[in-house]
Amino acid sequence: MMMLHPRALQRRLAEAGRTFEVMVDDIRRELATTLLAQPDVPLSAVAQQLGYSEQSALTRSCRRWFGTTPRKKRLELGPA
């Protein structure tokens, strides 16, 4: 899709001091914050939108990102 060999992409990211995995994690965290601020979006849908096959993966990521569960983070964010 990027018309770039995967190894060439890895090298360019390494030159910039980044990894693909870190970039994906950063984007997932930002999207999670946006989706969790919307109380009408079920947590299962948040997990699916982030590319997780299980809601438990969302819970693990939220604990790592925010130090709390998705439900508690949603309450912290308050009404949209």
Token pair recorded at residue 50: 């982030």
CATH of the domain at 39: 1.10.10
Q: Is residue 5 part of a domain?
A: no
Q: Is residue 56 part of a domain?
A: yes
pTM of the model: 0.82
Rounded Cα gap, residues 61 and 25, in angstroms? 9
Average pLDDT over the chain, rounded to an integer: 92
Token pair recorded at residue 27: 């984007």
Q: Is residue 14 part of a domain?
A: no
Task: Domain count for the chain, please give it.
Answer: 1
Parent domain of 49: 20-77
Q: Which pLDDT belongs to residue 20?
A: 86
Token pair recorded at residue 15: 């030159």
Where do runs of H (alpha helix) occur along the chain? 6-15, 20-36, 43-49, 55-66, 70-77
Q: Which pLDDT belongs to residue 56?
A: 96
Q: Is residue 41 part of a domain?
A: yes
User: Tens of pLDDT along 1-33?
Assistant: 678 888 898 899 899 998 888 999 999 999 999
Residue 80 gets which letter from DSSP? -
